[in-house]
Amino acid sequence: MNNTDLLLLNLSEIRRRSIKVWTAIPKDRLDWRPDTEALSCKEMIRHVLECDYYYLQILKNHGKAQNVQSPFETKAFTTLDDELNFSKSFRNQFINFIASLAAEDLTNIQIDRSELAELGYTDYIRSLGDMLLRTAYHEGVHTGQMLDYMRTMNVERPDIWD
């Protein structure tokens, strides 16, 4: 297995586990949030799925993401299945982009997120490979948050360590 294959496997396994968690949330709990400042369950699911679109724009443009309009902005969250179906083409584009990369692209292409400092966030410049690992980590963190939400709601949590 080469580096790109490992990245794709990791992203696939993380998404599989995320979906396993999301489908275990009762439909009547999708609007639940631990406090008024936190994302609800469905907002967090939307955030993770929408990030495939945003990350692809950022990566293709080597870090620049000005004026990116999300196709999710005008779409209401109706059901988890609908959300997964809607996001499928964006996920496929993201995965196909990664699959098209040459091994040297992972180290030679730099993702410059310097403009984040203007927005009050930590800015950085990272290799494309590092950025792809960050996208996987991002989803993994939110999956962990969702498991914590489920614990707090006293909802049975699925075994993600299969």
77-134 tens-digit pLDDT: 999 999 999 999 999 999 999 999 999 999 999 999 888 788 888 888 999 999 999 9
Residue 49 sits at φ, ψ, to 5 deg, of -65, -40
Determine the CATH number of domain 3-153.
Answer: 1.20.120.450
Q: How confident is the model at residue 135 (pLDDT cuts 50, 70, 90)?
A: very high
Which residues partner with 130 through β-bridges?
A: none
Single-letter amino acid code for the residue at 41 = C
Half-sphere exposure of 32 (CA within 13 A, CB side): 19
| CB atoms inside a 10 Å sphere around CB 66 | 7
Q: Where do the domains of the chain lie?
A: 3-153
The predicted pLDDT at position 67 comes to 79
The average confidence (pLDDT) of the chain is 95
